[in-house]
Amino acid sequence: MTRFGPTPVDPAERFWPKVKKSDGCWTWTAGTNGRYGQFYLSRKHRHVFAHRMAFMLANGADAIAPGLAVCHHCDNPTCVRPDHLFLGTTADNIHDAVRKGRNHVRRPGAKLLAERARLAALPRVGGRARPSPLTPDDVAAIRSALADGETVASVASAYRVNTSCIYRIRSRQRWNLPEP
């Protein structure tokens, strides 16, 4: 007996009162990590995701083999209804999300990766690491402008590239095209 009253030893006695049951999903009403429900086995142990705990309570404590995830048929992260849950690998879970059209995981840099993939598909002309923003006509005009006495900085500004790019074009370290 604690000062807060008797503490049930059986995890099921503490778990199921924190679940709001309905005809559809059974919603976890206690703490979450912002997305998935969390159930604390004891003060000395770390948390278990609530849907994993529900699966274990329904199917046995050793029902989840190492390396397997408990996935949702209903795609509701707070659902703990055992018949809405299934076992699968992380890859199974991702394929399920893609199949259902809900693969909206926001990864840091996802837009940058998509842009890099788009650029990589373009033909590489002039640059080594990525497609150049310049065309062969731009390079000819840059060389002509430099020959006419324009400064490297003004040409770089006009073509929206840095000055080192202009220096490399001028010295033919880049864009070593034959003279027209």
pLDDT at 173: 81
Dist CA 161 CA 109 (whole Å):
23
Q: What is the pLDDT of residue 28?
A: 92
C-alpha 41/C-alpha 11 separation (Å) is: 7
Each residue of 99-122: pLDDT tens digit?
777 765 555 555 665 666 666 665
CATH placement of domain 122-180: 1.10.10
pLDDT at 6: 59
Give the contacts of 93 (CB within 8 A, at least 6 positions apart). Answer: 69, 71
Per-residue pLDDT tens digits for 64-113: 888 888 999 888 889 999 999 999 888 888 778 777 777 655 555 556 65
Pull the structure tokens for residue 59. 């199917």
Least confident piece of the model among 18-32, 75-89, 94-108, 137-151: 94-108
- Per DSSP, 18 falls in state G
In the chain, domain spans = 11-99, 122-180
Give the pLDDT mean for 36-45: 81
Does pTM surpass 0.85?
Answer: no
Residue burial 123-161, b: 16+ Cβ < 10 Å; e: rest:
eeebeeeeebebeeebbeebbebbeeeeebeebbeebeb
For the cut 80, the answer to whether the pLDDT of residue 149 exceeds it is yes
